[in-house]
Amino acid sequence: MGVVNLTDDSFSGDGCGDDIQAAIAHGLRLVAEGADILDIGAESTRPGSSAVAPEQELGRVLPVLEGLMDCGVPLSVDTTKPVVMSAALQAGADMINDVGALCLPGALEVVATSHAAVCMMHMQGEPETMQDAPAYHDVVGEVTDFLAARVRAAAAAGIPSGRIVIDPGFGFGKTLAHNLKLLHHLDELRRAGAPLLVGLSRKSMLGRLTGRSAGDRVHASVVAALLAAQRGARILRVHDVAATRDTLAVLNAVEEA
Ligand code: HH2
């Protein structure tokens, strides 16, 4: 899954702001590099970021969605707002990626009445304050239990299990130690009952480990992607698609040998 950020302040440094043509060109480049899904988002979830009005989010997402409609891969929209989900689905989005795990009122229903896939992600707190003091007794157990409960809630709302993926939410209300423990024990999260999507690409935990800035974390990102894939991740949300594809080509060849 290649990331198309329509934000002014993405931590990863690749946000296209409101430059719709640049975002479409970026998406096409990621498809040419081998992305199987594009994830289009117009609200930064970086620690400390504040919410974007739905009109601004839709004003950026919809033209990019339209511009990428024939790019040949499914299009996901990264949003927490039911009103944005609904408009994106009407415009032809194939998937909703919700870092809020469809917790806002109406979100489950909007997805249930569509044919779209959904990713539900774990986050402790809200982006504005989530890194202030993340705390868990047992991070792997608590994240797994939360995701299992969201899978049950989605099923109860009428979303078929084949349309659901889940995500532990690296960096979303987690310390470096929490993130490392989750990655080490990622295979245990499969107990939550849905395929795993993982976003580690360029994240600050990799900066902490390497001392490198966001734009210079490609090597750390592909290693993290490899470790996640080896531990059962089925979808990798990445900024550096070509490098990740090369990594997976080597991994898959070794696994098949
Ligand atoms: N991470 C980000 C945004 N959306 N969605 C899922 N499912 N999993 C993630 O780990 C995830 C996500 C943050 O990355 P990015 O979009 O590059 O940055 P920003 O939110 O600052 O625009």
Percent of the chain at pLDDT > 90 equals 87
Which of the four pLDDT bands, split at 50, 70 and 90, describes residue 7? Answer: confident
Q: Which domains does the chain have, with CATH numbers?
A: 1-71 (no CATH), 72-256 (3.20.20.20)
Confidence (pLDDT) at 159: 98
Give the pLDDT confidence of 61-97 residue by residue, as tens digits: 999 999 999 999 999 999 999 999 999 999 999 999 9
pLDDT per position as a tens digit, 12-22: 777 787 889 99
pLDDT confidence of residue 106: 98
- Phi-psi sector, 106: left (phi>0), alpha (psi -120 to 50), beta: left
CA separation, residue 122 to residues 50, 73, 151, 182, 196 (Å): 18, 26, 12, 12, 12
Q: Strand 95-98 to strand 117-121: parallel, antiparallel, or no bridges (unpaired)?
A: parallel
Please tell me the distance between residue 179's alpha carbon and the centre of ligand 1 in angstroms: 15
Q: What sections of the chain are H helices per DSSP? A: 20-32, 54-68, 82-90, 107-112, 139-156, 176-184, 204-210, 218-230, 241-256
Contact by Cβ (8 Å): 103, 70? no
Q: Scan for tokens 């989010």, then name that residue.
A: 57
- Ligand 1 centroid to residue 161 C-alpha, Å: 23
Q: What is residue 47's predicted lDDT score, i.e. its pLDDT?
A: 74
Q: From the CB of 87, is ligand 1 less than 6 Å away? A: no
> pLDDT class for 126, splitting at 50, 70, 90?
confident
The reply to whether ligand 1 has any atom less than 6 angstroms from the CB of 240 is no
Which tens digit of pLDDT belongs to each residue from 22-31?
A: 999 999 999 9
Confidence (pTM): 0.96
- Does residue 237 have a pLDDT over 90? yes
Catalytic annotation, residues: 203, 237
Residue 221 has pLDDT above 90, yes or no: yes
Question: How many Cβ atoms are within 10 Å of 43's Cβ, its own excluded?
Answer: 25
Q: Is 173 in the pocket of ligand 1 (CB under 6 A)?
A: no
**How many angstroms is it from 45 CA to the middle of ligand 1?**
6
